[in-house]
Amino acid sequence: MRFHTDDAELAVECASLAKALGLDLDPVVHQNALAQAQAGIGPGTICALALTRSPDPRSLVALGTVAQAASARVALLVMPSEDSTIAQIDLARDLGLIAVDETRPLLAALALLQGGAERPWAASLADLSTMERSRFLPLSKLRQRGGGHWTRGAAGLSFALSQGPDATPFPVGETRDAVAAVVALHAASGATFRGGPELEGISKEGTVDTLFGPRRALSDPASKAVLAQYGVPSPTEELCASPSRAASEASRFGYPVRLALVSPDLRIWDHPDLAVDRVDTGAQVRDLFRQMVASAGARQDGARILGVTVGPAATERALLRVKAWPAGSQKRVLMEIGFADAHGLVTGDFTHTVLPAPFARLERVLGRLAGMELLFDDRARDRRATIEAVGTALLRIARFVADHEEVVESVEVEPLVVLLDGSVEVREASIQVSDAFERRLASPNDKVGEGP
């Protein structure tokens, strides 16, 4: 079995440990091991890849795409490092890669793949001790009939494809390593390269005029207007250029209201004091308008200040942050999803995935967030409605990025607000436009003025 890695010492360690499991690894050490592994993938092959350096997300997407097209199985080890995160493991599994972060679980996964195990998470545990069965608790919700048979062997756990006297167990490794491998196999088994649900109410042509221009970051109102063409919900609000206009709009909406400074140079997620919620009187609106504009001008010389938005105050249940950018493969979009509240930012409560994907996959992605339960109340119907609302917003953002992948470098939404009724809205957004239009204008072979 071909084994690609970027570290000679890691190759020696894995080859040595593999012998105890009856695995015959053929190590290939290369600085760009991921590209080498991708080039060597053939129809129905089993490939092992071990990396000491954190892989680029787009490289993972390319690897997963090639493996899926060839019906190949790739076991991936990403060694813990300063720049590696559990989110990369999650992304790899979403792409169908059997990703782990230790050598022994990698070898256990290879043993199961080589032995032909298809659903080892559903295998019988009857022959294992109580302590060993307890180690399989992370898989308890996946218990089903069939799927093989686990036994205790001389070198740890062994696995047989069937039960009975004719079954031939093969070694997998110690219980803890086997469980880690099975968790990775199950997570990768849910990968899908099908598109997500059909999305209605999308106007690709309606975005071209706003996107057209040099490389730049669109303002919050412009970004929301573009995303609105794809049905991404945003709050009802008015951009006001004077304190008196702001007070007038606040009176029209009814108190309390929310005020937020609008500037392409000063984003609210970097300057949270430039937004104030639940303002109760016209006098407060006028005073806060002046304070925000003065504070923004003093904070950055030459900052472009477009005004202050005024809108009805809304009580949120949770705040999410979303960043999406083109994956560079088959109209797919990489997305980072996490909590935007103080606790979520401090604890690094976020994950990565690739879209489009069905709602079932999106629910699993959201389930990786430690604070997922903050999105819901105790009603099952509310839970389903909230998942669909959040998922639909994410899919619409991803569809926008995919449709304009040559023009749009990234989309950031912070926060995506989950309201008490389970609906969502984009509170602050920023679309980074590339220099694609400038390059088109400079090229005589391109048709100037066509949409992206």
In this prediction, residue 84 has a pLDDT band, given cuts at 50, 70 and 90, of low
For strands 316-326 and 307-312, give the pairing: unpaired
Radius of gyration of the chain from its Cα atoms, rounded to whole angstroms: 26
Which residue would you say has higher pLDDT here, 32 or 378?
A: 32
CATH architecture of 2-189: 3-Layer(aba) Sandwich (3.40)
Instruction: Tell me what the mean pLDDT of segment 359-385 comes to.
Output: 86
Instruction: Tell me what the mean pLDDT of segment 123-134 comes to.
Output: 89
CA separation for the pair 303, 264 (Å, rounded): 8
On whether the CB atoms of residues 41 and 66 are closer than 8 A, the answer is: yes
On whether the CB atoms of residues 255 and 280 are closer than 8 A, the answer is: yes
Q: Which residue in the block uniquely carries the two structure tokens 């009805």?
A: 312
In this prediction, residue 141 has a pLDDT band, given cuts at 50, 70 and 90, of low
pLDDT tens digit sequence for 346-371: 999 999 999 999 888 899 999 999 99
CA separation for the pair 364, 272 (Å, rounded): 31
Q: 342 burial class (0-12, 13-18, 19+ CB within 10 angstroms)?
A: exposed
Instruction: Tell me what the mean pLDDT of segment 136-162 comes to.
Output: 79
In this prediction, residue 39 has a pLDDT band, given cuts at 50, 70 and 90, of very high
CA separation for the pair 128, 151 (Å, rounded): 6
Amino acid at 449: G
Enumerate the β-bridge partners of residue 233: none
CA separation for the pair 25, 18 (Å, rounded): 7
In this prediction, residue 5 has a pLDDT band, given cuts at 50, 70 and 90, of very high
Residue 446: what pLDDT? 55
Which CATH topology does 236-313 take?
Dna Ligase; domain 1 (3.30.1490)
What are the E-state strand segments in 294-422?
307-312, 316-326, 333-339, 350-355, 408-419
Percentage, residues of the chain above pLDDT 70: 94
Spatial CB neighbours of 42, under 8 Å, sequence gap ≥ 6? 70, 72
- With residue 277 as reference, give the H or E element that holds it: strand 275-279
Calculated CA dihedral for residues 408, 413, 419, 424, nearest 10 degrees: 10
Percentage, residues of the chain above pLDDT 90: 69
What letter would DSSP give residue 224? Answer: H
For the entire predicted model, the pTM comes to 0.88
In this prediction, residue 145 has a pLDDT band, given cuts at 50, 70 and 90, of low
Alpha helices in 153-274 (DSSP H): 175-189, 208-211, 220-228, 243-253
pLDDT tens digit sequence for 432-452: 999 988 877 777 565 544 544
Amino acid at 288: L
Residue 83: what pLDDT? 67
- Just give the CATH number of 193-235+315-452: 3.30.470.20
What are the residue boundaries of the structural domains of the chain, listed by start?
Answer: 2-189, 193-235+315-452, 236-313
pLDDT tens digit sequence for 221-243: 999 999 999 999 999 999 999 99
- Mean pLDDT, rounded, of the chain: 90
Which residue would you say has higher pLDDT here, 148 or 145?
A: 148
Q: In what order do the strands lie in the sheet with 73-78?
A: 26-29, 2-5, 46-51, 73-78, 98-100
Do 193-235+315-452 and 236-313 fold alike per CATH? no
249 has a pLDDT exceeding 60: yes
- With residue 58 as reference, give the H or E element that holds it: helix 57-69
In this prediction, residue 14 has a pLDDT band, given cuts at 50, 70 and 90, of very high
Region class of 44: left (phi > 0), else alpha (psi between -120 and 50), else beta? left
Instruction: Tell me what the mean pLDDT of segment 109-132 comes to.
Output: 91
In this prediction, residue 70 has a pLDDT band, given cuts at 50, 70 and 90, of very high
Q: Which residue in the block uniquely carries the two structure tokens 């949120």?
A: 316
pLDDT tens digit sequence for 189-231: 877 666 677 888 899 988 988 999 999 999 999 999 999 999 9
Residue 190: what pLDDT? 72
On whether the CB atoms of residues 66 and 42 are closer than 8 A, the answer is: no
Region class of 90: left (phi > 0), else alpha (psi between -120 and 50), else beta? alpha
Spatial CB neighbours of 239, under 8 Å, sequence gap ≥ 6? 221, 262, 306, 307, 308, 309
CA separation for the pair 208, 80 (Å, rounded): 43
